[in-house]
C-alpha cells in the first residue's frame, strides 16, 4: 500500500503527516533530511519499547543516526509533573541541543508529554511524532497541542509546539490490544460527528472491517488526519473552529479526572461517552432530531464501545460535582461553560450559553441509570 501524505499548512512551521505500513522500518530515511547532526533522542514507554524500539533504532542507525532512548511507564498517570521532569532532565543529560531532534515514540501520553518537553527544552527543540496507537495517529500526534495533567485537571499545563514530521505506521495497529484500538476509534468517530456526515456513513458501513482490512484502516486514519490538518491549518491556537475538535471532551475530561486517570476509563473511551452525551444534550436543547443521538449510540454500541456512564466501573461523583470539574475546561470564558453541540451528524458548533442545570439534569439521569 502506498504512503498517504497529509500536509499541515502552517507557514514556516508546516509539516507532513505520512501514513502507511512499514514506516517505522523506514524511519531513518524519513527523518534524516531533517537532521543537522546524526543524533536522535527517543522517548517511549515500557509497553512500546519491547515491541518496536529495536526496529526503530535499527532503522535510524542504518542511516548513521546515533540514538539514545528513555522508556517511561505506560498509562495516563505518566502524564504529570514527575515523569515530565524526568524526561526533561534525561534530555539535558543527553546534551540534546536546539539543532537536535527528539522523537516521541508511543501513544497520546508520550506524544503530549514529550512534545511539551521539546517545547520547553532550551526554549524549544524540534521533535518528530511516531504515534503507535490509533488515538495518537488520528488525533494527538497532529496539531501541536502538547502538555501534561495536573492535580487540577487534564492538559492544564502545556504549549502549542508543532512537530516537524509525523510518521503514522499503520502496521503497528495490528498488535494494538482491542481495548486500545476501540478507544482510538472514539476519536475517529468524532471527526464524522463533528464535520463529515459522509465519513460517519462510511464508518457505519465499514468500521467492523477496520481491525482486519489494512486499506480500510489506512483510509480511516487518513480521513481523520485530513480533517484535523485542515482545521489546525485554519486555526492553530483554537481561537475558533479548532474548538470543534473538543467534541465530547468537556464530559470526557471531567470523567477522567473523576476516575483518577486510571484504567477505569481510557481517554478515547471517555471521548465516545462524551460524544454520546453531547448529542443527547443537543437533542434535549432542541438543536437536533432524536435520530442523531440514537444513531451515535447505536453505532458505538455496535462497535462494542462504552457509551453510558453505567459502562464505567466503580464509583462516580454526583452530577453537580462533575459539572464543577468542567469548570477547569479550557473552553470556559468568564466562568461560563461552552460545549460543542450539534445540529445533526456532521454539524457541530460551539455553544456559548448552555444552562448548567440542563447539563446537571442530563448527568443526573445518566448516573441514575447506573444504580
Closest distance of CB 183 from ligand LNCXM5UN, Å: 12
Question: Contact at 8 Å (CB) between 102 and 126?
Answer: yes
Residues 202-241 within binding reach of ligand LNCXM5UN (CB under 6 A) = 238
Which of 57, 78, 218, 246 is close enough to bind ligand LNCXM5UN by CB under 6 A? 246
Cell of 117: 518537553
Angle (CA) 18 27 54, round 5°: 135
Residues 302-321 within binding reach of ligand LNCXM5UN (CB under 6 A) = none
Partner residues linked to 4 by β-bridges: 19
Cell of 109: 501520553
302, containing H or E segment: helix 291-302
End-to-end CA distance of the chain: 49
Residue 145 binding ligand LNCXM5UN, by CB under 6 A = yes
Backbone angles phi, psi at 351, to 5 degrees: -100, 120
Report how far residue 331's alpha carbon sits from residue 155's, in angstroms, rounded to the nearest whole number.
12
Q: Tell how many helices (H) and how many strands (E) occur in the chain.
A: 14, 11
Residue 330 binding ligand LNCXM5UN, by CB under 6 A = yes
Closest distance of CB 67 from ligand LNCXM5UN, Å: 28
Site stretch for ligand LNCXM5UN (CB under 6 A), options 5-13, 81-89, 137-145, 196-204: 137-145
Tell whether residue 360 is among the known ligand binding residues.
Answer: no
Which of 21, 115, 131, 143 is close enough to bind ligand LNCXM5UN by CB under 6 A? 143
Helix axes 197-206, 291-302, angle to 10 degrees: 40
Closest distance of CB 235 from ligand LNCXM5UN, Å: 9
Question: Contact at 8 Å (CB) between 149 and 79?
Answer: yes
Nearest one of 221, 210, 143, 229 to 188, comparing CA atoms: 221
339, containing H or E segment: strand 339-342
Residue 249 binding ligand LNCXM5UN, by CB under 6 A = yes
Q: Nearer to ligand LNCXM5UN by C-beta: 164 or 246? A: 246
Report the Cα 329 to chain-centroid distance in Å: 16
Q: Nearer to ligand LNCXM5UN by C-beta: 3 or 277? A: 277
* Active site positions, annotated: 123, 145, 187, 228, 238, 242, 246, 249, 253, 267
Which of 179, 206, 242, 301 is close enough to bind ligand LNCXM5UN by CB under 6 A? 242
Residue 137 binding ligand LNCXM5UN, by CB under 6 A = no
Q: Nearer to ligand LNCXM5UN by C-beta: 242 or 284? A: 242
Q: Nearer to ligand LNCXM5UN by C-beta: 43 or 188? A: 188
Residue 186 binding ligand LNCXM5UN, by CB under 6 A = no
Site stretch for ligand LNCXM5UN (CB under 6 A), options 89-97, 123-131, 139-147, 335-343: 139-147
Which of 30, 100, 139, 269 is close enough to bind ligand LNCXM5UN by CB under 6 A? 139
Cell 523506514, residue located: 26
Q: Nearer to ligand LNCXM5UN by C-beta: 67 or 162? A: 162
Question: Contact at 8 Å (CB) between 180 and 266?
Answer: yes
Residue 270 binding ligand LNCXM5UN, by CB under 6 A = no
Q: Tell me the CB-side half-sphere exposure of residue 324, using CA atoms within 13 A.
A: 7
146, containing H or E segment: strand 145-150
Backbone angles phi, psi at 289, to 5 degrees: -75, 160
What number of chain residues touch ligand LNCXM5UN (CB under 6 A)?
Answer: 12
Cell of 103: 522523537
Q: Nearer to ligand LNCXM5UN by C-beta: 17 or 49? A: 17
Residue 338 binding ligand LNCXM5UN, by CB under 6 A = no
| Alpha-carbon dihedral sign for residues 86, 91, 93, 98 | negative
Q: Which residues are annotated as a binding site?
A: 108-112, 132-133, 145, 154, 187, 249, 267
Q: Which residues are annotated as a binding site for Zn(2+)?
A: 187, 249, 267
Contacting residues toward ligand LNCXM5UN, per CB under 6 A: 139-140, 143, 145, 155, 187, 238, 242, 245-246, 249, 330
Amino acid at each position: 500500500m502506498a504512503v498517504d501524505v497529509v500536509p499541515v499548512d502552517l507557514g514556516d512551521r508546516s509539516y507532513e503527516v505520512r501514513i502507511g505500513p512499514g514506516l517505522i522500518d523506514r524511519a531513518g530515511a524519513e527523518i534524516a533530511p531533517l537532521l543537522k547532526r546524526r543524533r536522535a533522542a527517543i522517548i517511549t514507554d515500557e509497553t512500546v519499547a519491547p515491541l518496536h524500539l529495536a526496529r526503530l533504532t535499527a532503522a535510524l542507525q542504518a542511516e548513521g543516526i546515533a540514538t539514545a532512548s528513555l522508556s517511561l511507564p505506560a498509562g495516563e498517570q505518566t502524564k504529570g509533573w514527575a515523569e515530565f521532569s524526568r524526561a526533561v532532565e534525561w534530555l539535558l543529560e543527553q546534551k540534546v541541543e536546539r539543532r537536535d531532534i527528539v522523537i516521541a515514540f508511543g501513544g497520546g501520553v508520550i506524544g503530549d508529554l514529550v512534545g511539551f518537553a521539546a517545547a520547553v527544552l532550551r526554549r524549544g527543540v524540534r521533535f518528530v511524532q511516531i504515534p503507535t496507537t490509533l488515538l495518537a495517529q488520528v488525533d494527538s500526534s497532529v496539531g501541536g497541542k502538547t502538555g501534561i495533567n495536573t492535580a487540577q485537571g487534564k492538559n492544564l499545563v502545556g504549549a502549542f509546539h508543532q512537530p516537524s514530521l509525523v510518521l503514522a505506521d499503520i502496521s503497528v495497529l495490528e498488535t494494538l490490544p482491542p481495548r486500545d484500538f476501540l478507544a482510538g476509534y472514539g476519536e475517529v468517530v468524532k471527526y464524522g460527528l463533528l464535520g463529515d456526515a459522509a465519513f460517519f456513513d462510511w464508518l457505519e458501513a465499514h468500521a467492523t472491517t477496520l481491525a482486519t482490512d489494512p486499506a480500510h484502516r489506512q483510509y480511516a486514519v487518513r480521513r481523520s488526519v485530513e480533517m484535523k490538518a485542515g482545521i489546525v491549518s485554519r486555526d492553530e491556537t483554537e481561537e475558533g473552529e479548532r474548538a470543534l475538535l473538543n467534541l465530547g471532551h468537556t464530559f470526557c475530561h471531567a470523567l477522567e479526572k473523576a476516575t483518577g486517570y486510571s484504567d477505569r476509563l481510557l481517554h478515547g473511551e471517555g471521548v465516545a461517552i462524551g460524544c454520546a452525551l453531547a448529542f443527547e444534550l443537543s437533542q434535549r436543547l432542541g438543536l437536533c432530531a432524536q435520530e442523531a443521538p440514537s444513531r451515535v449510540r447505536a453505532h458505538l454500541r455496535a462497535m462494542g464501545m462504552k457509551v453510558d456512564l453505567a459502562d464505567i466501573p466503580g464509583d462516580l461523583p454526583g452530577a453537580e460535582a462533575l459539572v464543577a470539574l468542567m469548570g477547569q475546561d479550557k473552553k470556559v470564558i468568564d466562568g461560563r461553560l461552552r460545549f460543542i453541540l450539534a445540529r445533526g451528524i456532521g454539524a457541530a458548533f460551539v455553544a456559548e450559553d448552555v444552562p448548567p442545570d440542563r447539563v446537571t439534569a442530563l448527568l443526573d439521569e445518566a448516573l441514575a441509570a447506573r444504580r
